[in-house]
Structure 1
């Protein structure tokens, strides 16, 4: 009788759905200017760090950032959505992971411009990166991290 239960239990386990490996990777959608190549570098950076990234070229990048809560003067080079958050610009992965782990009540984070030495950009890092937290409720952006 015990052997029969063991075999039936083993058969039941084999019928359970097995998640695909790609399902384990957090999904990211990156919007970029069609002519920009550094954005592809950032997408590759996210992939190397375990994200499944879909790149969508667009000529409406400023509008996408604005609707996501990123003020014009703090826009980055591209706009990425991961879960419920916007990540604008070349934000280092440690700060992205911090955001996703802490789950703050903000719209997302942004690293303005295209700083040299940031993920996906060429050159050496010459100064600290200031990453800002942004909201959609009109509150002023605040410093989220400095790296």
Structure 2
């Protein structure tokens, strides 16, 4: 093999290796998944949560609706976890103001659970940030067969237990 062909081969190998290195910095398959969010067009806190998920790398499709009850019932969300919006990603349900860190962790290891959710609208959770108010401690609950169980605990957007 002459020097020119050897140099071209070495450059190609270096390029492919560098491309592989760069691709490792892109979102994982869970983070790059398309998420469908059912929410009211007029809800600002839901819009804040959608932006939080977009910043985490999710492609979002919003389905506007003013009647979320049939959506929650169809998707099997336990009533104590109902919040102001419901999302579906990779066949799993995300209810309410769940931080992206919890969504990512859940999608990596969902088990038999149908989804995760945060009941109500805890102050400081994604989309519910309120300057001048202390963020609340809240649990992200895993649900599916049986009663919901704690999955992760947060104060505002920061995980304090998983």
**Structure 2: tracts of 5 or more residues without a match:** 13-25, 155-162
User: How far off its partner does 1:53 sit?
Assistant: 0.3
| 1:62 aligned to which of 69, 79, 82 | 69
Change in Cα spacing, 1:66 to 1:125, as seen in structure 2 (3 Å) is farther
Aligned residues: 134
Aligned match of 2:122: 115
With normalisation by structure 2, the TM-score equals 0.71
| 1:77 aligned to which of 54, 79, 84 | 84
User: How far off its partner does 1:143 sit?
Assistant: 1.1
- Runs of 4+ aligned residues of structure 1 deviating over 4 Å after TM superposition are none
State the secondary structure of the residue aligned to 2:35.
strand
Aligned match of 2:140: 131
RMSD: 2.6
2:143 and 2:149 in contact (8 A); partners too: yes
State the secondary structure of the residue aligned to 1:106.
coil
Q: Give CA-to-partner distance per residue, 1:50-82, whole Å, 9 cap, x none.
A: 000011111221221122121222112200111
Q: Give CA-to-partner distance per residue, 1:29-67, whole Å, 9 cap, x none.
A: 000023211111111111111000011111221221122
1:35 aligned onto 2:15: no
State the secondary structure of the residue aligned to 2:137.
coil
